Amino acid sequence: MSFVNESAIAIIPARGGSKGILNKNLQTVGGVSLLARTISSCLQSKSISAVYVSTDSDEIAAVALACGAQVVRRPAEISGDSASSETALLHALVEIEKQNSLAKNLLFAQCTSPFISYTDIDGILELLKDHDSALTVTHNHAFIWRRDHTGNAIGINHDSSIRLPRQQLEPEYKETGALYAMNIEQFRNNGHRFFGRIGMYEVPTDRSMEIDEPADLRLANTLETQEKSLPSTELLQAIKAIVFDFDGVMTDDQVYITESGEEMVMASRSDGMGISALKNAGLKLLILSKERNPVVAKRAEKLQIEVIQACDNKLDALTEWLSKNQLPLSQCAYVGNDINDIQCMQAVRLAIAPIDAHPLAAQAAHWRLTRAGGKGAIRELSDAITNR
């Protein structure tokens, strides 16, 4: 075996075939595919050094690469319905080791849990300090029954003759199917995901949902819409500063180039009215752009708001600006649409994304607007905040 370092890698098995839901891994929740959501959570984890998707599908491979993962091509003989996940993981480890030294630990993530968080990934990998393998679970509060050979119902986790309150039942945990963590060397020796000292990382019920049937997918989309709809009045009232990315937020993320090489962008007059309303409401506003472009400065001048351009580290620039204005992150909202906005979105009280944001930015958002960048997204935000 190659040299093993202390970090962890993530492998996401995602084959093209699926019987319960056609192309399940590419079905969307909140407009973001299940695969993209899983990759995003892995990439946001501080514990993961690289993310790999094991697949036999060209379409899945393309999505994986676009989301920042690496791809391991899975042979047909281990891509069928009868092939185990362990087989895919072991094959992927062999292929990865041909190019890189392996990490010490492995995160096995499945695309079927759309609400799993990067904090859950960090949590389950933390268990490997004292365990050899681990899984995500959620607390089971149900009375479980089964039929005996005669068809008679018998209690499994309770005595049917003594009806105890639920809180008096022995604690039980249900496997969520979302995440598994394991020491790579021991996994290779055992060939199975559970071995040695097995740890359980408990996730709350609202993050434990697993997509198996079409009804699950419909429910997940309903929950996502409710979760990322208009925030509470209390939260909106707590916001004292709003920071905007430029491209894809104040514009439609397109650029028009003249014969002389000048760049032009499209902005919304409606958004301009929204900015004016936010200023009149007393909020501090900032445009924060990684690029240096005269059109950004011109638009900021027109709107009469501050602008910071050409910053390599947007989070540092954001925190410095807030400190200068004596405002905490807990009173700041950030509007972003792409992967270079995610750090800022994770740091502030309220992360906001236009409807057409990159899938990873959309997942990081607390509030998903119904309008696109450069096409009224800021006006939608402004109307909600100024009418709070």
H or E element that contains 32: strand 32-33
Asked if residue 214 and residue 133 are part of one domain, the reply reads: yes
CATH number, domain of 305, equals: 3.40.50.1000
Tell me the torsion sign for CA atoms 87, 6, 120, 202.
positive
Asked if residue 248 and residue 158 are part of one domain, the reply reads: no
Q: What is the pLDDT of residues 318-357, one digit of tens each?
A: 999 999 999 999 999 999 999 899 999 999 999 999 999 9
Asked if residue 39 and residue 137 are part of one domain, the reply reads: yes
Q: What is the pLDDT of residues 153-171, one digit of tens each?
A: 998 888 877 777 767 777 8
Query: Is the pLDDT assigned to residue 234 strictly greater than 50?
Result: yes
Asked if residue 282 and residue 256 are part of one domain, the reply reads: yes
Asked if residue 267 and residue 215 are part of one domain, the reply reads: no
Q: Which domain holds residue 187?
A: 5-226
Q: What type of residue is 42?
A: C
Kindly report the backbone phi and psi dihedral angles of residue 166, in degrees, each rounded to the nearest multiple of 5, phi listed first: -55, -40
DSSP 111: T
Q: What gap in Å lies between CA 138 and CA 177, rounded to an integer?
A: 10
Q: What gap in Å lies between CA 122 and CA 43, rounded to an integer?
A: 11
Which of 185, 207, 226 terminates a domain? The answer is 226
Locate all alpha helices (DSSP H) within 206-358, ordered by sequence: 214-227, 233-238, 269-280, 294-303, 314-324, 342-347
Which of 204, 226, 248 terminates a domain? The answer is 226
Asked if residue 253 and residue 216 are part of one domain, the reply reads: no
Q: What gap in Å lies between CA 165 and CA 172, rounded to an integer?
A: 14
Helix (H, G, I), strand (E, B), or coil: what is residue 36? helix
Which of 226, 248, 275 terminates a domain? The answer is 226
Q: What gap in Å lies between CA 5 and CA 185, rounded to an integer?
A: 12
Q: In the structure encoding, which two tokens stand for residue 215, read together?
A: 């009804």
CATH number, domain of 216, equals: 3.90.550.10
Longest dimension (CA), the chain: 86
Q: What is the pLDDT of residues 180-207, one digit of tens each?
A: 999 999 999 999 999 999 999 999 988 9
Asked if residue 331 and residue 274 are part of one domain, the reply reads: yes
Integer distance in angstroms from the first to the last C-alpha of the chain?
60
Q: What gap in Å lies between CA 349 and CA 333, rounded to an integer?
A: 6
Into how many domains does the chain fold? 2
Q: What is the pLDDT of residues 127-154, one digit of tens each?
A: 999 999 999 999 988 888 999 999 999 9
Rg (Cα) of the chain, in Å, rounded? 24
